[in-house]
């Protein structure tokens, strides 16, 4: 079975603090893809990153960075120097190689950045 | 620059009514999806379609049907709305599996349905 766990339901940080959003996944497939999406108050999910199971390199994009560790089945997301515009719900998702072209989503983490 | 458009942002319907949620994408994507989003449950797939007139059940298809008569349009139908179908409904599209970038879903802004 495929499963994505985001144990943090809500997080609040003060602006300029760093924050890490956790994502733990389960899959028996050897080939899979992991994603992070951001859902701002407007409602539309925005794609942030995709990582395949063969690429464990960490990635940095501006203030955003992602730490993929197969040994712990985790794909954590860190925002450095958080800003109010980072306030949103963040979803981690998993897609396996075979079968339907579907994403399995975690339950999301609501991040509030306090000015 | 809108790419996935959902026709209604907010709807209020009564129990037993037939409800249509429309979704249109302008990216020539083969795949289209309907999810519902509920607090504490994340996004759950209702139905998806990988081609015109083709449809596949997702994780929670009961009480829903879909229609895809044209490539760009994917409709979600609630034949007889019930209060437990009060939710946020999200439409998404993607390129066909195997195509570069196929896995990335582009989402609409959502349709919040309230069934009284």
pLDDT above 70 (res A35):
yes
Q: Give the mean pLDDT of A89-105.
A: 81
A37 Cβ contact partners less than 8 Å away, ≥ 6 residues apart: A45, A46, A47, A48, A90, A91, A93, B107
**Residue A100 confidence (pLDDT):** 57
pLDDT above 90 (res A96):
no
pLDDT above 90 (res B102):
no
- Condensed to tens digits (0 to 9), the pLDDT of residues B54-76 reads 999 998 999 999 999 999 999 99
**Residue B26 confidence (pLDDT):** 95
Q: How confident is the model at residue B97 (pLDDT cuts 50, 70, 90)?
A: low
Supply the DSSP string of B104-115, one letter for each residue.
--EE---EEEEE
Contacts of B6 in chain A (CB under 8 A): none
3-class state of residue A71 by DSSP:
helix
Residue among B50, B97, B105 minimizing CB distance to A103: B105
CA of A44 vs chain B CAs: smallest distance (Å): 4
Are the C-beta atoms of A15 and A114 separated by less than 8 Å? yes
- Specify which residues B112 forms β-bridges with: B10, B88
- Flag if B88 and A95 touch (Cβ within 8 Å): no
Q: Is B40 on the interface with A (CB under 8 A)?
A: yes
First to last CA, chain A: 41
Q: Across all residues in chain A, what is the average pLDDT? A: 91
Q: Give the mean pLDDT of A22-47.
A: 91
């Amino acid at each position: 079975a495929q499963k994505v766990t985001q144990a943090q339901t809500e997080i609040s940080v003060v602006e300029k603090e760093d924050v890490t959003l956790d994502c733990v996944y389960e899959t028996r497939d050897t080939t899979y893809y992991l994603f992070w999406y951001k859902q701002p108050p407007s409602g539309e999910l925005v794609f942030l990153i995709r990582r395949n199971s063969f690429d464990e390199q960490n990635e940095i994009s501006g203030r955003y960075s992602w730490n993929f560790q197969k040994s712990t089945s985790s794909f954590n997301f860190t925002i450095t120097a958080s800003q109010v515009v980072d306030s949103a719900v963040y979803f981690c998702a998993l897609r396996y190689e075979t079968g339907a072209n579907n994403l399995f989503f975690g339950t999301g983490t609501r991040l509030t950045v306090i000015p | 620059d809108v790419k996935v458009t959902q026709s209604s942002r907010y709807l209020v319907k009564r129990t037993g009514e037939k409800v249509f949620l429309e979704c249109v994408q302008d990216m020539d994507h083969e795949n289209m999806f309907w999810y519902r989003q509920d607090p504490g449950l994340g996004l759950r797939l209702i139905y998806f379609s990988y081609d015109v007139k083709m449809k596949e059940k997702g994780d929670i298809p009961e009480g829903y049907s879909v229609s895809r008569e044209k490539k760009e349009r994917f409709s979600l139908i609630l034949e007889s709305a019930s209060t437990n179908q009060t939710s946020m409904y999200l439409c998404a599209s993607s390129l066909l599996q195997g195509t570069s970038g196929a896995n990335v879903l582009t989402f609409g802004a959502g349709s919040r349905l309230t069934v009284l």
